[in-house]
Chain A
């Protein structure tokens, strides 16, 4: 694929993603806005893929190695922390507990 064909393709999915994002989010009740933020926070941790590609580059210099290493550390904190915090929050949302037997 030529560079420009690829670019047009990428812009297309970018624009579709905008509409998809708005569509999906507008169905989330205010009750769950904190987990929504925390969950999307975990999702942008996908930047870890980019960070891994940088640190995994062949024939790189010390500079790229260091930058890539720090990027992977930061992105993995984002991923793990994001999903764990969201899970902890969502775990707490319960319907009424079954009545306690005396």
Chain B
């Protein structure tokens, strides 16, 4: 295939990727967009196979079957609740691939005198650096979300210093390579150092901040792929990688805004370890009385309400209660209650996590309300039912300047006539912050596993 034809066909791939993203503007045709993107990827793979001078077709095919087979099985088998860690895993392997490509590319060009040229050297260093961080960082994010590691921030004294030193050392190795030091092992050392940095960098980040981390690492892998595009003079890699890099960065910033925290604070703040401070704040809040109610009482409240809003949080995902919540909602609707769901942008472990879980339970997406749409509705709501959410409904974010989450936009559930909180125990949420909502006279608590509580509510609503 000629050089020009190859590049024209790669352009087809680029267009399909843009369409795939464009079609995501509405759930009605988003799936078709993704399929178009997949076809574009197939085109790119086929075109690459047809490239002049390519050898070892069998090795490529075998490697594809191994990797693709693993990807297909893992993606099919995974439960919807485990989706965030699956995305983290696939993101990580992509970053790893980008780093390996740059290592091989340096190995190929080093024998040439004067190689690599400054720009190629820069691209190689960047893709090795960013790709390695993305690889190991994603693996740690995976391990945390899969609960192979504690979701709590893991910190030690001098952590920031160690991380900064390591990162600067990697940067110095990179600069040496760009400046013309012809040493392949320098790049391997850099990649290994960057991988270690990825581990140390994600370890201190708490589970509740994972949406930001996954989004950022996604952007990293995109940037690493774009950098390999410069090494291989491939437009399709540059454009596709950069599309992902730009969108991932934008999404990361949006997550930060949704929590009213800077990205630096999320990444380096080790949020959630500030329990002493939080406890001090909590001591001064609320009248200290928590009202718990029986499922029967709450069932009556729900059955005679006009409007009920469910507020899901990570607890819903952990208990896998989405199907039962939907059943309860259906039951209430059949009794003439108006039901909707209020979704906070950072509820769960990845952006939009709750939307996916509720979609899995066949909740029509027209009932899923974003924060700006949901908040004005609470004043006309009879009962707000909080299922496993905590920090995203904490009124301290509005009222208590001393609270670590002060300033974070929240769902104003306390505007509703009554609030029902389904919660395992009185333990504070991931951010380690006490929640005065629980002490509000409007609030009743129903303690227990979210799924068990919802099942009980379904039974009791039936008998009302």
Residue ranges of A at the interface with B (Cβ–Cβ < 8 Å): 3, 6-7, 10, 13-14, 17-22, 24-58, 60, 63-65, 67-97
Q: Is B385 an interface residue (CB 8 A)?
A: no
B152-160, B243-251, B270-278: which lies at the A interface?
Answer: B243-251
Question: Are A64 and B104 in touch, CB under 8 angstroms?
Answer: yes
| A34-B355 CB under 8 A given contacts A55-B59, A77-B90, A83-B38 | yes
Whether, in the assembled complex, B17 has its beta carbon less than 8 Å from a beta carbon of chain A, the answer is yes
* A32 and B355 contacting across the interface, CB-CB below 8 Å: yes
A27 cross-chain contacts in B, Cβ below 8 A: 22, 25
Which of the residues A42, A65, A76, A94 comes within 8 Å of B362, measured between beta carbons? Answer: A94
Complex partner residue of A68 from B104, B224, B242, CB under 8 angstroms: B104
- Residue pair B244, A30 in contact (C-beta under 8 Å): no
Contact (Cβ within 8 A) B67 A77 = yes
Closest to A45 in B: B94
B67/A21 in contact, CB under 8 A:
no
B366 at interface, CB cutoff 8 A: yes
Q: Chain A residues near B74 (CB, 8 Å)?
A: 77, 81
Q: Tell me the minimal C-beta distance from A70 to chain B in angstroms.
A: 6
Q: Once bound together, how far apart are the Cα atoms of A11 and B212, in whole Å? A: 28
Q: Which of B30, B37, B59 has the most CB of A within 10 A?
A: B30
A77 to B28, CA, bound (A): 28
Q: Is the CB of A36 within 8 A of B87?
A: no
At the interface with chain A, which of B41-49, B199-207, B307-315? Answer: B41-49
In-complex Cβ contact of A41 among B30, B70, B94 (8 A): B94
Q: Among B64, B236, B351, B364, which residue has its beta carbon within 8 angstroms of that of A76? A: B64
Q: Chain B 221-239, CB within 8 Å of chain A: the 1/0 string?
A: 1101110111111111111
The reply to whether A78 and B235 contact each other, CB–CB distance below 8 Å, is no
The chain B residue with its CB closest to the CB of A75 is: B97
In the complex, which of the residues A21, A37, A43, A81 has the most CB atoms of chain B within 10 Å of its own CB atom? A43
Q: How many A-B residue pairs have CB under 8 A?
A: 373
Partner of B107, one of A29, A34, A51, A64: A64
By a CB distance below 8 angstroms, the chain A residues around B449 are: none
| Selected contact of B352 from candidates A33, A58, A65, A75, CB within 8 Å | A33
Q: Could you tell me the distance between the alpha carbons of A44 and B21 in the complex, rounded to whole angstroms?
A: 13
Contact B63 A44 (CB under 8 A): no
Which of B75-83, B168-176, B291-299, B400-408 binds A?
B75-83
| CB-based contact A76/B237 at 8 Å | no
B357 to chain A, nearest CB (A): 9
- Option from A24, A42, A88 in Cβ contact (under 8 Å) with B41: A42
Could you say which residues of chain B place their CB within 8 Å of the CB of A42? Answer: 34, 37-38, 41, 90
Complex-state Cα separation, A67 to B364, whole angstroms: 46
Which residues on B sit within 8 Å (CB–CB) of A60?
108
B117-147 Cβ-contact flags toward A at 8 Å (1 or 0): 1010000000000000000000000000000
B20 an interface residue at 8 Å Cβ cutoff?
A: yes
Q: Which residues of A contact B236 (CB under 8 A)?
A: 46, 49
Q: Does B101 contact A (CB under 8 A)?
A: yes
- Asked if residues B86 and A31 are in contact (CB atoms below 8 Å), the reply is no
Docked-complex contact A74 and B21, CB < 8 angstroms = no
Chain B hits for A93, CB < 8 A: 27, 30-31, 355, 359, 365
Q: Is B53 an interface residue (CB 8 A)?
A: yes
**B361's closest neighbor in chain A, by CB?**
A92
**Residues of chain A contacted by B353 (CB below 8 angstroms):** 34
Instruction: Please state if A57 and B228 are interface contacts (CB–CB under 8 Å).
Output: no
Contacting A30 at CB < 8 Å: which of B67, B345, B359? B345
B residues 359-376 in Cβ contact with A at 8 Å: 359-360, 362, 364-366, 368, 370
Given A10-B238, A55-B59, A96-B364, residue A78 in contact with residue B351 (CB < 8 A)? no
Residues in B whose Cβ lies below 8 Å from that of A6: 233
Q: List the A side residues contacting B119 at CB < 8 Å.
A: 7
- Measured between beta carbons, the chain A residues less than 8 angstroms from B26 are 29
7 interchain residue pairs of minimum CB distance: A21-B246, A81-B71, A33-B352, A76-B67, A80-B71, A33-B351, A72-B63
Tell me, yes or no, whether B35 is within 8 Å of chain A by CB: yes
Contacts of A7 in B (CB 8 A): 119, 230
The answer to whether B399 has its CB under 8 Å from any CB of chain A is no
Most chain B CB neighbours (cut-off 10 Å) among A34, A47, A57, A58:
A47
Q: A30, B370: Cβ atoms under 8 Å?
A: yes
Return chain B residues, CB-CB under 8 Å to A53: 48, 51, 54, 232, 234
CA distance A43 to B258 in the complex (A): 25
Partner of B75, one of A44, A67, A88: A88
Decide yes or no: A77 and B247 within 8 Å by CB, A24-B22, A43-B17 being known contacts: no
Determine whether B68 belongs to the interface, using a CB cutoff of 8 Å to chain A.
yes
A39 to chain B: which residues have CB within 8 Å? 20-21, 24, 33-34, 37
